[in-house]
Structure 1
Amino acid sequence: MNTFLAVIVIFGLLVFIHEWGHLVFAKRAGILCREFAIGFGPKLFSFVRNETTYTIRLLPLGGFVRMAGEDPELVQIKPGYDIGLTFTEEGKVKQLIINNKSKHPDCKVIQVEKIDMERELIVKGYTEDSDELVTYELDRQAVYLYDEKSTQIAPYDRQFASKSIGQRALAIFAGPFMNFVLAVVVLILYAAIAGLPVNESLVGGVTDDGPAVEAGLESGDRIEAIDGEEVSTWEEMTEVIQARPNESMEFDISRDGEAFSVTMTADEREIPEADNIGVIGVMAPTEKTLTGILAFGFTQTYEYTVLIVEALGMLVTGQFSLDALAGPVGIYNYTGEVAAMGILVLFQWAAILSVNLGIINLLPLPALDGGRLLFIGLEAVRGKPIDPQKEGMVHFIGFALLMLLVLAVTWNDINRIFL
């Protein structure tokens, strides 16, 4: 598979699932989600559905869900502004036209005296032909137009901050959690296709070349003994063969109730930074059971999680060097190598990356989901939220430091791969 295509598909899936988790649970809590984006930078494609703008952006390095109340509104309407209003059949304001009012000749123009688009949902002002102060009620789904771009207002009860601690925490936690779910699903698919290893001294298959195919071994053959040494498990069999490269061995085989013997000399395979091993060109036996396949998805995800957490612990304690980390360039390179090994290996790699993304995002660091959960936890302990401006500044600084780390790791990738 083409490396670029593999990277786009895998990263697109990981980011989509992560952000989809945020989106679903935010919407369940009643939060207005203004945008669901895959990538950063300029928009390449977008459409609107159920209050949310779905966008694909130029740089495929992540994504985001923009929830109402997390960022200040880009357009603020202040007293003294002249704006245009259009109305629903019930007489409520459905559009607030900030500029280009000439393109909306049917709108009613007023000079704003007071406007509240969050709690009271009203706009007060003076019309062009009257000095009387008039109050208009805003529809809960009213929009304001600026340069003909439509943005839905966000009543306070539709904003992130208005929700309970549990609802907000769940909306944040759902992103990383969905990465673990994705890993389980991908590994279940892997097991369903490849099967599960069986620890028996059976020939699951033979390679196109090698001692086994030359000796006439077939899938389903059972290796009973090697040079008179009985073997019953795959580990026992491979241990004997690997320990004797370039040595002739006699294999006692049973096939369909018949016994026979063959002599094979194990080929020698080089192992980096280890002793070479012997191989005869046979593949491990596998089986496919529903319970085994389902269990494999969960147990393998758990094992990947433990390995990654242990590696992070070694990084913190200094047992791991930052030079060992891989950034976007390194992951791109590794993905190309994995893609060349086949779709099944790519499945495993995608699962590892998904678990890794979930764990990294749960770290209690600013700008990550774990950092946001930390602030929600502090609010639960204190009984009141942290000042939004202070929290925003912490996340901004954290994001800047995170980008510096990414740049440093990327430079290491370039040195390691290309220089």
Structure 2
Amino acid sequence: MFVVIVHEFGHFLFAKIFKVSVLEFSIGFGPAIFKKRFGETVWKINIIPFGGYVRLKGEDFDESEEDGLYAKPAWQRLLIAFAGPLFSVLAAYILFIPIVLNWGVPAVTIGKVIENSPAQECGLQPGDVIYKINGKRIFDSYEVTNTVSKGKVVKMEILRNGEIIKKEIPPRISPPEYIFLLDDVKGDINGKIVKINGYKVGIDLKLESGTFVELEDEFGNTISGVLIQYSYVPERPTIGFYYAGFKPVIEKDMQPFKKGDILLKVNNREIDDYISLVNVITALKLSENQVYIDIWGQQIREKIVPLGNDLNVLVSRNGKEIVLNLDKKEFLDIVSAPGFFKQESYVIKPKNFFDAISLAIARCNSAAISIWKAFGKLFTTGQGVEQVAGPIGIAVIVGEAAKAGWETILTVVALFTLNLGIFNLLPLPALDGGRIVFSLIEIISRKKVNRKVEAIVHTIGFFILMALAFYFMFADFSRFF
């Protein structure tokens, strides 16, 4: 609701500046549970707590009244439309200031260096902070991955023990990677994988969920099952490290665990870093007769089978090793709780208030660029559509963030309002960006756009947006429940 109110207040304020009557300021949709008139504007809180709007006089393309929206010059209408996204984006920048002041900025940190990789050969170490790439300050692992993927020598500035160390690292082509999650599994494999469904390893087989899959190793052994999930990553330039995630160290009391406990082993699976922790959580999520297989080139990098229902969890507490007995569901619920494990990433703290402002601006700039690029890929190639959340997904994300504490929830709200501002600037019908485009056409051509045409375009755009909202809402049900 904060995100919506800020956005709509931008439209409201600029409408007032240009003497356009604001008939309604509504928070939510549906029947009103509260409404009161102040001057010309009716302020409403509605029963469905999603979104909100301001209703301006004359926005139905009526040009007959002086205080109506379409009686105003095109440049004023442009600024009224632009004000909503502007306020959304400004709110994100302002929110990041207290976030940075209180909690600093999580830096892109190296969690694990792969043996015999360019990263190891060039002396990168776990805990190194990637401060700059090719002279550019880095706040997002996506920027690092994107730069490395170009295949050119990467100039890194690494922060280690308070000192900046410069490295030049040539990426190396990594083999293709296959990841399978199979059900109703039969057989087993141990050596190099030579065939997948009879085909040689090295190509994307475009396998679909529900199909039968058989993997064969160099000794003629096979493992087969019904495909639940599949992903294929082709050959690409890499440096050879994992980003930092969580330490297997308990960050808050949750019975039977205590803050400071170190997770050492679950049944026969040892835990010594973030990757082994993720693998244990994967094993917890597997059902009976399922298996997770990660193939790197022809090598089996990881083969994970389900853990049993009764778990022996070995932890180190105050220097002593103790065994906790839990069932699988209970343990999975505990380890999935936000904020349960200690963050592994290094946090950069501002030196003073002005440094906090500088860091907040740089952090928000980085996020804004990433969001803009993501929208570009979404609308041009469809890439990332599975990561779009609808109203229910947003509610779930905010709910999970609330469990993790104020830092997480404020960061989520800041990113939501930044997303909203940038999304509304896209030149699509019914969005603020679409209205800006029509205003620009009038400014440049010095002729009025046919109002009937504009109305039809925005109406079609509105129904498309509503259809997308319902689509993602139903997708949220299958994803989160």
Using the size of structure 1 for normalisation, the TM-score is 0.58
SS at match of 2:53: strand
Higher RCO structure, 1 or 2 (CA under 8 Å, sep 6+): 2
1:233 to 154, 162, 166: 162
* 1:41 and 1:57 in contact (8 A); partners too: yes
Question: 1:281 deviation in Å?
Answer: 8.4
Q: 1:319 to 1:396 in 2, by over 3 A?
A: closer
Match of 1:328 among 372, 382, 391: 391
Residue 57 of structure 2 is aligned to residue 68 of structure 1: yes
Distance 2:33 2:80 in 1: 27
User: Which residue does the alignment assign to 1:5?
Assistant: none
For the pair 1:161 / 2:70, whether they are aligned, the reply is yes
TM-score of the superposed pair, with normalisation by structure 2:
0.51
- Take 2:22 and 2:404, find their aligned partners in 1: how far apart are those partners? 40
**1:196 Cα shift?**
5.2
Task: Give yes or no for the alignment of 1:366 onto 2:366.
Answer: no
Larger radius of gyration: 1
Structure 1 CA distance for aligned equivalents of residues 12 and 451 of structure 2: 22
AA in 2 matched with 1:191: V
Equivalent pair of 1:36/1:52 in contact (CA under 8 Å): yes
Report the Cα distance in structure 2 between the residues aligned to 1:338 and 1:382, rounded to whole angstroms.
Answer: 48
Alpha-carbon shift at residue 322 of structure 1 (Å): 2.5
Partner SS for 2:36: strand
1:268 maps onto 2:273 in alignment: yes
Supply the distance in 1 between the matched residues of 2:409 and 2:427 (Cα, whole angstroms): 30
User: Which residue does 2:418 correspond to in 1?
Assistant: 355
Give 1:197 shift: 6.8
Preserved CA contact (<8 Å) 2:375 2:423: no
Match of 1:174, as an amino acid? A
Q: Which residue number in structure 1 is paired with residue 408 of structure 2?
A: 345
**What is the CA-CA distance between 1:32 and the residue it aligns to?**
1.0
SS of aligned partner of 1:158: coil
What is the Cα deviation at residue 167 of structure 1? 1.3
**Alpha-carbon distance in structure 2 between the residues aligned to 1:35 and 1:319:** 36
Alpha-carbon shift at residue 351 of structure 1 (Å):
0.8
The one-letter code matched in structure 2 to 1:50 is: G
In structure 2, the partner of 1:392 is 455
Partner of 1:76: none
Task: State the partner residue of 2:338.
Answer: none
Which position in structure 2 is the counterpart of 1:212?
none
Counterpart of 2:471 (choices 402, 408, 412) is 408
Deviations 1:155-202 (A, max 9, x none): x22111222222111111000100011101111111222245799xxx
Rounded to whole Å, the distance in 1 between the matches of 2:438 and 2:41 is 26
- Please list, as runs of the form range in 1=range in 2, the aligned pairs for 1:219-298 lying within 5 A after superposition: 232-233=161-162, 267-269=272-274, 270-271=277-278, 284=347, 286-298=349-361
Unaligned runs of 5+ in 1: 1-11, 74-117, 120-155, 200-229, 247-264
- Counterpart-to-counterpart distance in 2, 1:280 and 1:41: 43
- TM-aligned CA deviation for residue 387 of structure 1: 2.3
Percent pairwise identity: 32
Q: Following TM superposition, by how much is the alpha carbon of 1:324 offset from its aligned partner in structure 2, in angstroms?
A: 2.8
Give the whole-Å Cα distance in 1 for the aligned partners of 2:45 and 2:412.
Answer: 24
Q: Which residue of 2 aligns with 1:183?
A: 92
CA distance in 1, matches of 2:162, 2:6: 40
Closer, same or farther: CA 319–408 of 1 in aligned 2, 3 Å: closer
Unaligned runs of 5+ in 2: 109-158, 166-240, 249-263, 265-270, 283-293, 295-300, 303-340
Per-residue CA shift, 1:184-222, capped at 9, x if unaligned?
1111111222245799xxxxxxxxxxxxxxxxxxxxxxx
Report if aligned partners of 1:176, 1:361 keep a CA contact under 8 Å in 2: yes
Q: Is the 8 A contact 1:196 1:292 kept in 2?
A: no
Alignment check: 8 A CA contact 2:427 2:437 kept: yes
In the alignment, is the contact (CA less than 8 A) between 1:196 and 1:293 conserved in 2?
no
**Which residue of structure 2 aligns with residue 27 of structure 1?**
16
- Aligned pair partner of 1:316 in 362, 379, 384: 379
SS in 2 for 1:157: coil
**Paired residue secondary structure (1:31):** coil
Query: Which structure dedicates a bigger proportion of its chain to helix?
Result: 1
Aligned to 1:36: 25
